[in-house]
Structures are given as C-alpha cells and as structure tokens.
Amino acid sequence: MSKTWKICCVAAAIALAFIILVMILFIPAKGPYDDTDCWNQFEDFDISSLDTVEVTGEEFKILQLTDLHYWMPHKAKATDNVVKTLVEQNQPDMIVITGDSVFGPANLVYVPHIIDLMESFEIPWAIVYGNHDSEGKADKFWMGEKYEEAEHCLYHNGPYNIGGTGNYVVNLTKDGEPFYSLVMMDSNMYMEYDGKQEYACFELGQVSWYEYMITNLQANGYDKSMMFFHIPLVEYGVAYDEWEKGGFDESTGFGEKREEECNSPCNTGMFGMIKKLGSTTHTFCGHDHVNNYSVEYDGVVLSYGLKSSSQFYHDDDMIGGTLITIDAERNVEIEHKYIEA
C-alpha cells in the first residue's frame, strides 16, 4: 500500500469517527407522540384506562428516588449500588423516581440503563421528568416510548395538550377497593421571567387536568391521593418558614434546608387547587439536592425526597431514598433512608 493511500485511509477513518461522534452528541433523538391524545374536560371519565396496583400486604411501601443524575460513567456503578442497596434493605412494593434521572447528552445511554436496573427488581415503578432529563439528545417522547415499553413501568406520556409530558395517575386498590391514588406530574423545565431564565411552574392546563382527575377519582371512591413531581411548589418555602417560626415542631415536620428553594417565580395555583379539592394529603418532589425537609402546611405534607446519588452537586451525608409507607388505615409515614455512596 502506498504512503498516500495509507494517509487517505487514516483521514477517512478519522472523518468517519468525527461524523459518528457529532451524530451521537448533537443529532436529537425524537420519539413518537400522539397529538390526538387530547384531554377534553367534557369527555366522560374512564377509570378503567388508569393503571391499578393491588396492595397485597398490611401496608404499602413506596421508595422515592430522586435526582439520580446519571451522566458520569465512572459513577454509574456507585449509583446503581445505592439503588440496589435501598431496594434490598427496604423491600418496597413500588418505586417512584421524581425527575433528573439523567443529565446531558448521555440521556440516550442512561435511560435504557435505568430501565434495566428498575426492571431487575420486578416490581411496579413510575417516573416523572425533571428539568434536566430532556436536555440531552433524547426528548421526552423518545424516553417516554422506552419507559412505556418497560414491563413493570407505569409511565404514560399522558394528554398532549395540557402542558408537560408524563402526567398520569396510578390507582392503588386493597381487596379490589379504592385505596389511594398516585398522581404523577411533569413540573416542566424553564421559563422566561423578567428577562432571565427561571424554573417553570405547572401550566394552567395541568391544574385543570388535576382538578378533573381528582374530582372524578373522588366520585369513584378514591378520596385520597398523593402527588409526585420534580420542582417544589412555591408553598414549600412558605411552609418551611412557618415551621421555623414555630420552632421546628417535630410533630409537624422533619429534615433540613441547606439551600434556598429553587422554585418558579410563578404560581399557577396548584396548591390552591389541592386545598380546594381536599384529596391530596402529601406531595413529593426533588430538584433541590441538599434540601430534605418534610413539613405539614395547611393540612398538606410537602416533602422533599432524599437525593439518590453522588452525581452532580450533593452533600455526602444526604444521599439515599425516601420510604413512604401507607398502612391499612391509610396513615402515611415518611422516612429518609441514608446510604453511603
């Protein structure tokens, strides 16, 4: 082979590798969506369209994981181990992941990784998006298709026209009777506010959809619900301040605030709707990696989950998962389970 031919071959190989790298890093992976899946508030409510999980034991244990932030290859195994240890030690009946599961261009790689990990436990699991999940190559519909295909995953894209992706409800039954509803919602990503980028809030369509779902669930015997989403409501900070003013009364809260709440500057009235309908007893979010407080405010418990990995900013002594136990009388206990990452 002549020297010139060799140089040409090497140059072609480098060019090909560069093109593949650009494709991997920058060409978006868009998933399919059904733009006819529109919510219409005047349509009849079909409870049979919602997934149901039967409570078989005396209590139902939900493990909340949040802000796994899979993106650094050398930390993936340690993150897997945190999750595996939490599941092994707490034997949950279900897992709910409240957003920022993946981060950056690597979402294309780590969404299938998370699915494999979750499916290995062979229990129902649900997931909502955070502000970071879809910042990489894969959009929410690409990830949504993968989650919807996973055997034990309860995720649904939800209605196309209310705001966000992945708004859906999972009902819990006990002896076939309504027990609790779990409302999963996409708290969206960012918005323009006063010339700056700020965190988003629920869209008005999502608040209306929540009202429609809860009102109809109540009419079908589901009188209690809890919500899972990523970005805290504005009321979290208000609740903490009141708790602090009251001397951190242990009967109404626990946990710590180590950073200012990074909520949206806007409030579209989700908490007001929660109060009006009287169904949602607890809300669980993530987002602020070093806040883990859980405080009762105006009759509703507003709770942070414990950050579940050492990827992205974190405090080493604030890593683990949050165990939510609903007993047969539907009392709810919340415990943070700490793991050394």
Binding site for Fe ion (CB under 5 A): 67, 100
Q: Minimum distance from CB of 289 to Fe ion (Å)? A: 6
Q: Minimum distance from CB of 166 to Fe ion (Å)? A: 16
Cβ proximity to Fe ion: between 100 and 186 the closer is 100
Q: Minimum distance from CB of 110 to Fe ion (Å)? A: 14
State the Cα–Cα distance between residues 107 and 30, nearest whole angstrom.
Answer: 12
Cβ proximity to Fe ion: between 67 and 93 the closer is 67
Cβ proximity to Fe ion: between 61 and 132 the closer is 132
What residue number has its CB nearest to Fe ion? 100
State the Cα–Cα distance between residues 114 and 83, nearest whole angstrom.
Answer: 10
- Per residue, the 3-state secondary structure of 98-138, as one string, reads ECCCECHHHHHHHHHHHHHHHHCCCCCEEEECCCCHHHCCE
Q: Please name every residue paired with 295 in a beta bridge, in sequence order, or none if there are none.
A: 253, 302
Q: Minimum distance from CB of 99 to Fe ion (Å)? A: 7
Dihedral, 119, 122, 127, 133 alpha carbons, nearest 10: -20
Closest CA to 51 of 188, 161, 144, 183: 183
Cβ proximity to Fe ion: between 80 and 100 the closer is 100
- List all residues 6 or more positions away from 99 whose beta carbon is below 8 Å from its beta carbon: 66, 67, 128, 129, 130, 131, 132, 133, 187, 229, 230, 231, 286, 287
How large is the C-alpha radius of gyration of the chain? 21
Cβ proximity to Fe ion: between 206 and 308 the closer is 308
Cβ proximity to Fe ion: between 67 and 261 the closer is 67
Q: Minimum distance from CB of 69 to Fe ion (Å)? A: 6
CA 37 to chain centre: 22
Cβ proximity to Fe ion: between 264 and 281 the closer is 264
Closest CA to 261 of 239, 228, 229: 239
Q: Minimum distance from CB of 132 to Fe ion (Å)? A: 6
Q: Minimum distance from CB of 230 to Fe ion (Å)? A: 8
